[in-house]
Structure 1
């Protein structure tokens, strides 16, 4: 017995030597070559039936090879991307398309769309919408799970609040930046912190105290709280046409959500070691798995926690104003939902995209000095009932810092009549696409109901304050 007979049976790599060793033992026991080769053929065809005895080592290797082959096949990308709709294609950079093309090659992908504010992100591009079958992609949701918007419109004239008063209210009732929180004596509770779900997973138990510490606060980057004027062109939602004082906020799930995202992204990557490097950050978790159910639970908790942060900000400020909002609206734009798409239930990931089902309210901000909009969704099927989540960046953070000067940004803010507390060059209005162009590119997706114009803005301090 020699290796050429073994190779003809289809054994490869390490299994050749193990098969030959087993064959020689059988030959020493008196079996004819034809009988040994017949046995080896059966072992190769059904290794699970020979897990003990002389073929045990060979079987272990064959099962390992089979598992690797099955895993590689399950992780293999399609040869070409599925087609997907692009809205405002002229506004979308090629890098975002390249990322979306990879996402549309995933074996779990069934549909997708790019919004006009789309730009390069990690994994799925920001402004990307992806529908997957029975699977959730942590980086298809994003690091700031549940990142969201909230608007409160007060039935008083927009000039009721003076700039100095607005600044004082924002300084007292908002907190911004990594790791920040209100003083313990200033914190107020929220039902989301009392949910039993915190005890269901070790990671949730471990992060509960962090979430409790940071409740009601906002992060860095593009998170903000803004006083401004809100204009309704016609009576809507119980409010007469006119211009009113309003508060608009952008915030997320803080350190809690970021750590959930990091934990489950690493877990997903470990479960798909053969996934092509270009798709590494798009590793997914099956919703039939324990890991997938754990992420789904944690993701939705982070989404509720993010909305709770907004609720507290708006409640604090409304109380200080002595006003009750006459109109309120909110939406999440970094989350995954179970939705019907083409007659099937799919997992729709919106990473920097606003849900826009027919009749659904949404908020699309511009920049620290440009208008934002209250919109009503049209449920447009090719967009997967989605719209943009903002203007979208046209300059990355480093590019903005290297390109823009403090003086030109300050001049822009002055021209728009905006007073800024905090903020950095990386969040300058010029770093963003023109919001009017982005809105115009999605007339099929939403109707505009009202316009918000920022006047007094608070953000975290950037790398270089403006």
Structure 2
């Protein structure tokens, strides 16, 4: 018996040596070469039937190869993207469309939609909504897991610019790594959530979460006072003009580390996935890693909402006023949702949940209005709407092309006082929010309008 006999049966690589070893053992038992070759042919055809015997090592190697081939086939992209609905197509860059096309070629994708604020992101475009079957995509949720909005509407009246500025400077914190010191922290039930003890990673991140609760990050996170005009009575609050606080924040360093960890695991689990879809690597919800991410993601979502609660709690106490109306929503998360009669995992990466009757918030920019909306539950949009105006200039492009004086003039004309903020977040870097809202009339009804007056953000790479 030699290697040529073995290769003629179709064995390759290390399996040739394993087959020869097994053949030697069978030859020692008195079998002829013809009988051994017949057995080896059967082992190759059905390795599972030869586990545990003389051919066990060879059978296990063949089984592993078969499973790898099956996995690679399961990870292959469809040749063409499945159809999806686009809102405000004229507002959306080709790069975002191309990313959504790749997402809709995933073997786990079942339905999708693109919102009018969509622009290029990592993996799923920002403004993308994707329904997957029994799978969760970390970059379909995004790095800032649970990024969300909150609005507090106070009794009729206003604040002077100086008062508003003082409140924001004293009771909000912004920036990477920033937190409250021990004496200034407020308690919150989210810090006692049992899920912190469910995973080593979450236990490790708990102290960071304690320190940063009630703070905001950099980039487009903000806290702003402004005039809120309610167009129709809502929750017992009559139509009219009010003082309001609007915030945009997420899950801080805790969520970012969860996103990074499970993105790496997802990518490692899909080595055969087309490089164009690498950042869309998914975790099966039947896997241990998928269940871990689901637990961590939902905890990050609750933590992000708690961030807003504490920001608004601090300022409400300083104002000595209880909000007449509070509204909040997440827009970077995945939800279990019934779609066409079956449960799917709906990823909203920069998209506002808009089920029928559901309230949500869609901001513009530091100087442009935000809108309180009520969802219409549009099935073609997977019950979603935009999460903001959406960028028309990337951060670097904004820094290169925008003139600081023009931005300052824009703010002045609209009566906006800015604390912090960088030119990469200038209003001109964003699409016109009125156009974005108009493009999604089938998705939401506008109930109110918030006009910023005093805005606080983290300091940008180039101040305005």
Q: Could you state the TM-score of these two structures normalised by the residue count of structure 2?
A: 0.96
Matches of 1:61 and 1:294 in 2, distance apart?
30
Q: Quote the residue 1:334 is aligned against.
A: 332
Q: 1:206 aligns with which of 196, 200, 204?
A: 204
Measure how far apart 1:209 and its partner are: 0.6
Q: Quote the residue 2:277 is aligned against.
A: 279
Q: Quote the residue 1:366 is aligned against.
A: 364
Q: Quote the residue 2:93 is aligned against.
A: 93
Q: Quote the residue 1:229 is aligned against.
A: 227
Q: Quote the residue 2:287 is aligned against.
A: 289
Measure how far apart 1:424 and its partner are: 0.1
Specify every segment of 5 or more residues in structure 1 that has no aligned partner in the other structure, as ranges. Answer: none
Matches of 1:23 and 1:80 in 2, distance apart?
47
Q: 2:254 aligns with which of 256, 261, 280?
A: 256
Report Cα offsets for 1:136-160 as digits up to 9, x if no partner: 1111111111000000111222xx2
Measure how far apart 1:60 and its partner are: 3.9
Matches of 2:48 and 2:180 in 1, distance apart?
60
Q: Quote the residue 1:465 is aligned against.
A: 463
Matches of 1:239 and 1:215 in 2, distance apart?
30
Q: Quote the residue 2:304 is aligned against.
A: 306
1:61 and 2:41 aligned: no
Matches of 1:272 and 1:243 in 2, distance apart?
53
Matches of 1:20 and 1:95 in 2, distance apart?
54
Q: Could you state the TM-score of these two structures normalised by the residue count of structure 1?
A: 0.96
Measure how far apart 1:55 and its partner are: 3.6
Q: Quote the residue 1:119 is aligned against.
A: 119
Measure how far apart 1:98 and its partner are: 1.1
Q: Quote the residue 1:176 is aligned against.
A: 174
Bigger CA drift: 321-330 or 249-258?
321-330
Measure how far apart 1:48 and its partner are: 3.1
SS in 1 for 2:297: helix
RMSD across aligned positions (CA): 1.7
Matches of 1:89 and 1:20 in 2, distance apart?
62
Matches of 2:13 and 2:432 in 1, distance apart?
58
Specify every segment of 5 or more residues in structure 2 that has no aligned partner in the other structure, as ranges. Answer: none
Measure how far apart 1:299 and its partner are: 0.8
Q: Quote the residue 1:447 is aligned against.
A: 445
SS in 1 for 2:448: strand
- Provide runs of 4+ in structure 1 moved above 6 Å: none
Q: How do residues 42-191 of structure 1 correspond to structure 2 at under 5 angstroms?
A: 42-51=42-51, 55-157=55-157, 160-191=158-189
Report Cα offsets for 1:169-221 as digits up to 9, x if no partner: 00000000000012221111101001222111111111111000001000000
Q: 2:374 aligns with which of 373, 376, 387?
A: 376
Paired residue total: 464
